[in-house]
């Protein structure tokens, strides 16, 4: 009999349930005698031994269900080695719960921070298999993460809906898309919805260049402009600051987010009416799109096969349209940034999209 622990960590997203279902169905169809221990609320459940036994019935009917049946939480890697408020060694506690339950493997679904902790557990001698979850699509070692395409669909629909009211009122509309460090989601949603300007963290913007694009559209008879802005978009001036200087500036930041700063500066310099829309956590919610259902199921199936083969210490990734096994130590601690020179960026510019540079 194989004893498998399973947890979902970090921000939730679509297709977590689909991926877990893929793992369990693969093991079940292989006629493997398996016990599944689901740790509740991410690493917190593994630390404090909060789990429940899962049966096949728990994975029935969840292919289309958003969120995660196990619950999730954020357990920052930078504090994972610090004792908790009661002095508990969190890493040692996770190891002890693993051994207490006589687990053969931990299946961990999560993003960048989750993978850093997963790799730490691997280094501590635990058998670990991971699956790449994040709407940001910023995990190293995989061309795609599950949840990303569903989030693109939602953000695209939000911008689509803005088009009609922007055109009716002749306004500049800013839609703020999730993505603190990378711009994959904003770029794809912006291109899919016909945004005129896209501001992402990897390409610092010049507000005067943004205004130039708005005024160019005015001259051509376009009454409105749609701007897709990533949460982590940054101006050229701020990009030149040191981390310490930028942190100090943000302590007295007068705006709710960068989108409101961009809006305020456009209004100040042009007198144009600007509106900001923030879809927020709707981008993480709802049912997974068909692409993510298939993709997460494929990843889950390969994770199940890794367990059957006794191959641990891998993330199941996606490279060149094929499911691959990527060593965890190659993934942990690395972000997949969107290069300003990427072909998709250059193609967007050919279409007339401005990045404010």
Cβ burial of 145 (10 Å; 0-12, 13-18, 19+) is buried
Question: Phi-psi bin for 147: left (phi > 0), alpha (psi -120 to 50), beta?
Answer: left
Task: Report phi then psi at 123, rounded to 5.
Answer: -65, -25
E-only strand ranges, 115-220: 128-132, 172-177, 197-199
Other beta carbons within 10 Å of 160: 15
For residue 302, give Cα distances in angstroms to 19, 45, 268, 290, 305: 10, 25, 54, 19, 5
- Which of these, 81, 83, 65, 139, lies nearest to 108 by C-alpha position? 139
Residues 12 and 69: their CA atoms lie apart, in Å, by: 11
Residue 347: its H or E element: helix 343-350
Beta bridge partners of 172: 225, 274
| Angle in degrees, CA 43, 48, 52, rounded to 5 | 80
State the residue for tokens 């029935």. 60
Other beta carbons within 10 Å of 60: 11
Contact between 94 and 43 under an 8 Å Cβ cutoff? The reply is: yes
Positions marked active-site: 136
Cβ burial of 118 (10 Å; 0-12, 13-18, 19+) is buried
Beta bridge partners of 315: 130, 326
């Amino acid at each position: 009999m194989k004893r498998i622990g399973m947890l979902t960590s970090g921000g939730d997203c679509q297709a977590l349930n689909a991926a877990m279902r893929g793992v369990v169905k693969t093991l079940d169809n292989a006629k493997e005698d398996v016990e599944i221990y689901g740790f509740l609320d991410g690493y917190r459940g593994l630390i404090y031994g909060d789990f429940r036994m899962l049966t096949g019935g728990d994975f029935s009917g969840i292919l289309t269900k958003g969120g995660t049946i196990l619950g999730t939480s954020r357990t920052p890697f930078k504090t994972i080695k610090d004792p908790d408020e009661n002095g508990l060694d969190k890493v040692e506690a996770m190891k002890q719960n693993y051994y207490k339950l006589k687990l053969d493997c931990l299946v961990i679904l999560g993003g960048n921070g989750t993978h850093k902790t997963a790799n730490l557990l691997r280094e501590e001698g635990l058998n670990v298999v991971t699956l790449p979850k994040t709407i940001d699509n910023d995990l190293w070692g995989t061309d795609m993460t599950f949840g990303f395409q569903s989030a693109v669909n939602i953000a695209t629909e939000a911008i689509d809906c803005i088009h009609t009211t922007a055109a009716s009122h002749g306004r500049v509309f800013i839609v703020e898309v999730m993505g603190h460090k990378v711009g994959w989601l904003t770029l794809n949603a912006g291109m899919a919805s016909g945004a005129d300007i896209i501001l992402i963290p990897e390409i610092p913007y010049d507000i005067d260049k943004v205004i130039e694009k708005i005024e160019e559209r005015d001259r051509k008879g376009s009454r409105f402009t749609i701007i897709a802005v990533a949460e982590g978009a940054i101006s050229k001036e701020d990009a030149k600051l040191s981390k310490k200087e930028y942190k100090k500036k943000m302590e007295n930041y007068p705006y709710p987010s960068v989108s409101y700063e961009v809006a305020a500066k456009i209004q100040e310099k042009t007198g144009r009416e600007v509106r900001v829309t923030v879809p927020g956590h709707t981008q993480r919610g709802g049912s997974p799109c068909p692409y993510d259902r298939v993709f997460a199921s494929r990843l889950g199936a390969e994770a199940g096969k890794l367990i059957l083969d006794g191959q641990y210490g891998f993330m199941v990734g996606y490279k060149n349209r094929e499911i691959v096994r990527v060593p965890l130590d190659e993934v942990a601690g690395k972000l997949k940034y969107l290069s300003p020179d990427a072909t998709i960026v250059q193609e967007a510019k050919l279409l007339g999209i401005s990045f404010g540079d």
